[in-house]
Amino acid sequence: MYGDLWGWATQNPAAAAVAAVMVGVPVLGVLAQQRPTGRVRAGRPGKAALRGPGDGLLLRFLTGQDLRCGPPSSSASWWCAGVEVVRERRAADLAAPACGVKQGRGARLVAGARRWSCWPGAARAAVRLAVPAAAVAGWRGRWPEVMAGAGALATVAVAAAVTGPAALGWWRPRPAGADLVYGPGMWEALRPALGLEESQRQRRWLHLPGDVGVPGARVVLRLPAGWPGGEAGKRSLTATVTERLPGEWEEKWHRADSAPYAEWVRREPPARALQLPRSVEWKALGDPYQVYVGQAVRGSDFEDVVIHTRSATPHFGVGGLTGSGKSTVLYLGVVQARETGTLVDILDTKQNSLSEAEGQSGVRVHKTPAECVAALGEFIMSMMAAETALGKSGDPALRQLLVPRLLVTDELPTMMKMALIWWKYHIKGRGTPPFAEWFSIGLLQGRSADHRFGVGAQQWANAYFGGTMERAQIGWKAQLGYCDYPSWTVAFGASTAVVSPDTTVPGRGVFSDGRINPETNGLWVREFQPAFIVPEVAARLASLPPAPAWFDAGEMAPWITDETMEQARSLAIPPFLVGGSCGPEEPVTGGAVTLRHTPGSGGNPPSSGPVTGAQVTTEVTTEVTGPGPELFSLAEACAAGLLPWEHATAKVYKGRSVRRGVPFPAGTNDGRVTYYTRDEITDWLKRWQASSPVRP
């Protein structure tokens, strides 16, 4: 046989060369791909592992599998084309940008034909067997048949092998499962951690689902009976599995079973959080005890944010820095109140914070300290009289006159401080001013008499409300914009988790309506977007029926009786009312803008009276000729550097000052905190330092 072969080769050298190439190339490829199983990952020879099914080189050759030992290089099966699984790439390839050029059909055919590992096993086996068969047939002199058969096989093989079966539309390449993509690398890390030999196969110990992206997918790992486990071991295995897979996984351990195992279950992906709108339109609810404020997110849907004023804590408040949108939210309460027949008094020492509501029927805007104190006193008297009229012995005729009322205070701390300055330096009051306690009384007793408060404040400090009990009557509370942690704890409590709103959206804030969060069993604070109604305020209020004549005329509530006045004297209210010894001379009216004349202006118009918008001029009151002196508490004086000590040290020196003969200034006390002017503090500091030979 060999002689005949040699003779044929000498007579036909060209054909012999072609046959040699056709046979030699596959053989060289086999030898090049074959890797001794005894050479392990470290590159050092070891004991040859036991071969498993499919490990034989001849069997791999005949069945169209990869000739190289190890994990498959693609997801191709016997009949289906597959996708390539790249396990080793150079760093330069990883750093190269992804090519997004769209290929045509021809280019996809060529690219698919070049990816030999993605061909179906049947196509690869056919090509492998066709080469030596053609060589033998050529040796026998049947070259025409060889060429025809080779052409037919090549056509069928290429058409079946290209990943372009997808391009041709015949079938889709078989996707690579998780066991092929993640399994080999995961098993390389798990096998040593479990203490298993190299001969142990992945499929015997580790199972991965076809699609690890499906919620509920399970990864199961058998545990050897001798595996020691422990918390550190569990954490190591969990990290090895979950860090190689996408998504969140929940671990479960079954060590007590006869065949122990661990499993990791894919969790449901978190629902996409709803995004609050950047603006919300206001809507009237038609209920005098419900104020629509805006929208918040609850679960997977939006929820209307509503202030319920018929509750145990009926008042509402808005906190935030200057410009955060407090006045915008207070407008919502003003418009809702007027649309349901409630009468509104606004205390606005800032002069223009709620100017859109000024001059409208049913709304009285008080701007000077004297006017604000008088309005607060009249409101408290109205509340007391309403309580009496609603009682069992109340007068039915007065009961018929009752109208719900709302007192809105924008920038409560500013109003209180200006009132304290007015009390001490304008009317020369001594001791604690009584109006500081009126506000606390109104918060505690306003609910049953349909007299409610709306408060705007930069801080929720107890000093401005009268105490924790009084501040707790603010049942619906919002904080707009940025809020530091100390302010947060004062507003919502130290045990309430901080919720940070999106401060890039105008007006965005958080709110609490007193409800308990079912998840944390704590105060429920949520982000919300308040409705924007400012451009509509004037038109909405102007379209409403007029308020009672007594209110727009600046008179007191008609249900206030002589008995109420006598009771009010015990609270020191009458001297601060309109016409009183400490009160303003003229009332503030509703339905028109109250004029306040400037001394030396040439005219002396009445301090109040109905006028048209064209007659309004910007003037100031004659009662306060300029801004009062800045006030500081002892703590604020230390923080501002007026006193060169910490607050605790300053309190000690204040107590010693009397014994040293350097009395501390009396200051102005609002019932809780004593305030001092800058001159009082600096004067005392000079006298204190001069009285001691060694300065502290």
Whole-number Å distance between alpha carbons of 253 and 152:
57
CA distances from 609 to 338, 374, 492, 648 (A): 22, 17, 43, 52
More confident residue, 464 or 455: 455
β-partners of residue 74 are: 84
Owner of token pair 């005729």: 397
Pairing of strands 631-632, 526-530: unpaired
Q: Which of 40-44, 135-139, 458-462, 529-533 has the lowest mean pLDDT?
A: 40-44
Q: Which of 29-38, 168-177, 471-480, 589-598 has the lowest mean pLDDT?
A: 29-38
What's residue 292's pLDDT? 93
Q: Given pLDDT bands bounded at 50, 70 and 90, which one contains residue 411?
A: confident
Q: Given pLDDT bands bounded at 50, 70 and 90, which one contains residue 185?
A: confident
Burial 352-377 (b: 16+ CB within 10 A, else e): ebbbbbbbbbbbbbbbbbbbbbbbbb
- Please give the helix or strand (H or E) that residue 408 lies within, else none: strand 405-409
Cβ contact 410:353 at 8 Å: yes
What's residue 430's pLDDT? 78
- Please give the helix or strand (H or E) that residue 483 lies within, else none: none
Q: Given pLDDT bands bounded at 50, 70 and 90, which one contains residue 406?
A: very high
Q: Given pLDDT bands bounded at 50, 70 and 90, which one contains residue 62?
A: low
pTM more than 0.75: no
Cβ contact 186:242 at 8 Å: no
Whole-number Å distance between alpha carbons of 548 and 590:
10
Q: Is 602 helix (H, G, I), strand (E, B) or coil?
A: coil
Whole-number Å distance between alpha carbons of 636 and 623:
28
**pLDDT tens-digit profile of 71-112?**
777 777 766 766 777 666 666 666 666 555 555 555 555 555
- Average the pLDDT over 427-448 and give the result: 81
- Residue 352 above 70 pLDDT? yes
Q: Given pLDDT bands bounded at 50, 70 and 90, which one contains residue 14?
A: low
What's residue 36's pLDDT? 43
More confident residue, 110 or 186: 186
Q: Is 219 helix (H, G, I), strand (E, B) or coil?
A: strand
- Tell me which residue of 497, 503, 500 sits closest to 524, measured CA to CA: 497
- Helices 230-242 and 183-194 cross at an angle (nearest 10°) of 170
What's residue 127's pLDDT? 74
Whole-number Å distance between alpha carbons of 465 and 475:
13
What's residue 592's pLDDT? 66
**pLDDT tens-digit profile of 289-326?**
899 999 998 877 889 999 988 877 788 999 988 888 88
- Residue 449 above 60 pLDDT? yes
- Residue 576 above 80 pLDDT? yes
- Residue 685 above 50 pLDDT? yes
**Highest-confidence segment of 241-245, 463-467, 624-628:** 241-245
With 0-12 / 13-18 / 19 or more C-beta atoms within 10 angstroms meaning exposed / middle / buried, residue 259 is exposed
User: How are strands ordered across the β-sheet holding 218-222?
Assistant: 206-207, 218-222, 261-266, 249-254
Hey, what are 527's tokens?
């982000």
Sign of the four-CA dihedral 622, 625, 626, 630:
negative
Cβ contact 307:316 at 8 Å: yes
What's residue 559's pLDDT? 93
Whole-number Å distance between alpha carbons of 65 and 77:
9
- Please give the helix or strand (H or E) that residue 303 lies within, else none: strand 301-308
Name the percent of the chain lying above pLDDT 90: 27
Name the DSSP letter for residue 257. S
Owner of token pair 């339905």: 591
Burial 82-111 (b: 16+ CB within 10 A, else e): bbbbeeeeeeeeeeeeeeeeeeeeeebbee
Strands (E), 203-266: 206-207, 218-222, 249-254, 261-266
Hey, what are 211's tokens?
């699609």
**pLDDT tens-digit profile of 608-645?**
333 333 332 233 333 333 445 778 888 888 988 999 98
More confident residue, 588 or 610: 588
What's residue 663's pLDDT? 87
What's residue 259's pLDDT? 87
- Residue 31 above 60 pLDDT? no
- Residue 57 above 90 pLDDT? no
- Residue 492 above 60 pLDDT? yes
- Residue 261 above 70 pLDDT? yes
User: Would you tell me how many other CB atoms lie within 10 Å of the CB of residue 344?
Assistant: 26
Mapping DSSP onto H, E and C, the string for 25-75 reads: HHHHHHHHHCCCCCECCCCCECCCCCCCCCCCHHHHHHHCCCCCCCCCCEC
Q: Given pLDDT bands bounded at 50, 70 and 90, which one contains residue 35?
A: very low
Phi, psi torsion values for 640, nearest 5 degrees: -80, -5
**pLDDT tens-digit profile of 127-159?**
777 766 666 666 566 667 666 766 676 666 556
CA distances from 529 to 136, 303, 324, 504, 646 (A): 83, 11, 12, 12, 41
Pairing of strands 509-512, 526-530: antiparallel
- Average the pLDDT over 177-203 and give the result: 86
Residues in the chain: 696
If you average pLDDT over every residue of the chain, what do you get?
Answer: 78
Cβ contact 30:57 at 8 Å: yes
User: How are strands ordered across the β-sheet holding 674-677?
Assistant: 631-632, 674-677, 668-669
More confident residue, 157 or 665: 665
- Residue 595 above 80 pLDDT? no
- Average the pLDDT over 367-395 and give the result: 92
